[in-house]
C-alpha cells in the first residue's frame, strides 16, 4: 500500500508539473530553397574555355573536334537541370525536409534536434556569388551526413539552420527538465 501511495504521489507530481506545458507547438516554415544557378558559374566558364579549346583543335587537327562543343554544353545543361529541378529543401521550426528526384521524388525528414553540426564551405568563385555547400551531420539513420550543394546566401542559411537546431534543443530540454 505504501508503494501505491508513493507511485500515485509521483504521478500526481508529474501531472502537476506538466499541466503548464503545451505539447503542441505549431510548425512554421522558416526557409525553402534548392540549387542556385549561380553555383554553376565556374562550370559554365570552364565549359566556355573548353569550347574555345575545341575550336582551336578543330583548326589545327581535325574539324571533328567541333562535335564536342554541343556535347559538353548539353551535358552541362542536363546537370544544371537535374540539380535545379531535382533537389528541394525546406526548414521548419522542428524539421528539415530534403526532397530529391524529378520523375520519382524521395522525401526525407530530419528532426532538427537530431542535427549535431552545421558547417559550410565556399570556393573562391562561390564566395564572389554568395553560394556554397552546407554540410549537416547528425544522428539521423538515413542521412548521418547531408551535403547541400549550390545554396544561395550560404552563410545566412547555415546560420538559420544552426539557430533553429539550438533553439529546438533548448525548447525540448526545458520540457524534460520540468518533469
Q: What local confidence, expressed as pLDDT, does residue 12 receive?
A: 72
> Would you write out the chain's pLDDT as a tens digit for each of its 179 residues?
555 677 777 777 666 655 555 556 789 999 999 999 999 998 999 999 999 999 999 999 988 989 999 999 999 999 999 999 999 999 999 999 999 999 999 999 999 999 999 999 999 989 999 999 999 999 888 779 999 999 999 999 999 999 999 999 888 885 554 44
CATH entry, 33-177, from 2.30.29, 3.30.70, 2.60.40, 1.10.287: 2.30.29
Q: What's the rounded Cα separation, in Å, for the pair 102 and 35? A: 13
Cβ contact 109:99 at 8 Å: no
Rg, C-alpha atoms of the chain: 25
102, 99, 90, 105: which is closest to 164 by C-alpha?
A: 90
pTM of the model: 0.77
The domain ranges of the chain are 33-177
Q: What local confidence, expressed as pLDDT, does residue 11 receive?
A: 72
Q: What local confidence, expressed as pLDDT, does residue 141 receive?
A: 83
Amino acid at each position: 500500500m505504501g508503494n501505491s501511495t508513493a507511485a500515485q504521489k509521483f504521478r500526481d507530481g508529474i501531472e502537476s508539473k506538466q499541466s503548464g506545458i503545451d505539447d503542441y507547438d505549431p510548425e512554421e516554415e522558416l526557409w525553402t530553397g534548392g540549387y542556385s544557378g549561380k553555383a554553376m558559374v565556374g562550370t559554365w566558364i570552364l565549359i566556355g574555355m573548353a569550347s574555345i579549346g575545341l575550336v582551336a583543335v578543330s583548326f589545327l587537327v581535325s574539324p571533328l573536334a567541333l562535335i564536342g562543343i554541343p556535347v559538353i554544353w548539353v551535358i552541362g545543361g542536363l546537370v544544371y537541370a537535374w540539380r535545379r529541378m531535382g533537389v528541394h529543401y525546406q526548414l521548419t521550426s522542428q524539421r528539415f525536409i530534403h526532397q530529391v528526384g524529378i520523375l520519382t521524388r524521395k522525401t526525407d525528414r530530419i528532426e532538427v534536434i537530431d542535427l549535431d553540426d552545421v558547417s559550410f564551405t565556399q570556393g573562391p568563385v562561390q564566395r564572389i556569388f554568395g553560394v556554397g555547400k552546407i554540410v549537416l551531420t547528425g544522428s539521423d539513420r538515413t542521412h548521418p551526413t547531408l551535403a547541400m550543394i549550390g545554396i544561395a546566401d550560404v552563410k545566412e542559411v547555415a546560420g538559420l539552420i544552426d539557430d533553429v537546431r539550438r533553439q529546438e534543443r533548448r525548447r525540448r530540454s526545458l520540457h524534460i527538465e520540468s518533469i
